[in-house]
Amino acid sequence: MSRPLAGKRALITGSSQGVGLATAHLFAQQGAEVILHGNQTLAQAEQAARDIGSNALGALKADLSAPGAGRGLYEAALERAHGRIDILVNNAGIHWATPLDASDTEWDNLWATTLQVNLMAVADLCRAALPGMVAAGGGSIINIASRAGYRGEDREHMAYGASKGAVLSLTKTIARQWGADGIYAYALAPGWIDTRMGPQAEADRERARAEIPIGDLAQPGEIAAMCAFLASGACRSATGSCIDINGASYVR
């Protein structure tokens, strides 16, 4: 396999399973040194780091629902990476229901937690990354958003859709404002992916497939492949773009 990421160091959030795990493995195969992240699934991230071998710089624990945890994670990763991170993949996220009939307290807490994990932690990680990337002459930021950021989400997940729409705007702003500094920022907008966040019951999976013209959920490796391509610098002019990976279930 070619090694287009050789010499690069990457932090991948939410990399104990699913898309993040697939991305960590592929980045390492393509030559990058990777830092993994987990919270309650830290043991899985640590096992993944052992499986990856010498191209893994370890796994870090961070609860991104806690304010400030994004910056703390980045600083710990920077230390693990000997002072330089070239690629940041913001993959960690939650898909919590925020029903209208929740109590006011529950509604506020669900929205606050969703926005904290899916938006504020991403913003904090980007904020922490930008000065070092500028000083180093460049870097890549890849934010995993969702088709919901464009088309909206179902009535039970308004906070999720809102958070992902904000991530898209954040990504575009970084691309526009730091492009001259060699910072390339991209967003991915998947639909259903075959992970624990996707439908699990077979009836639910069938309903999901029915709305996807190609008839199947995306695989984690497909998202990872796009992350690796963008991180390679092979198409820098795509900076600011949002890449749809949803089987044509939402076409803009």
Residue numbers annotated as active site: 160
Identify residue 70 by its one-letter amino acid code: G
Distances from the Cα of 101 to the Cα of 110, 127, 247, angstroms: 12, 36, 33
In DSSP terms, 132 is beta-bridged to: none
Residues in the chain: 252
Residues near 25 by Cβ (< 8 Å), separated by ≥ 6?
A: 48, 51, 52, 224
- 70 and 120 in contact (C-beta within 8 Å)? yes
Give the gyration radius of the chain's Cα atoms: 17
Kind of pairing between the strands at 56-61 and 33-38: parallel
Please name every residue paired with 187 in a beta bridge, in sequence order, or none if there are none: 143, 242
Residue 133 is inside which H or E element, if any?
A: helix 121-136
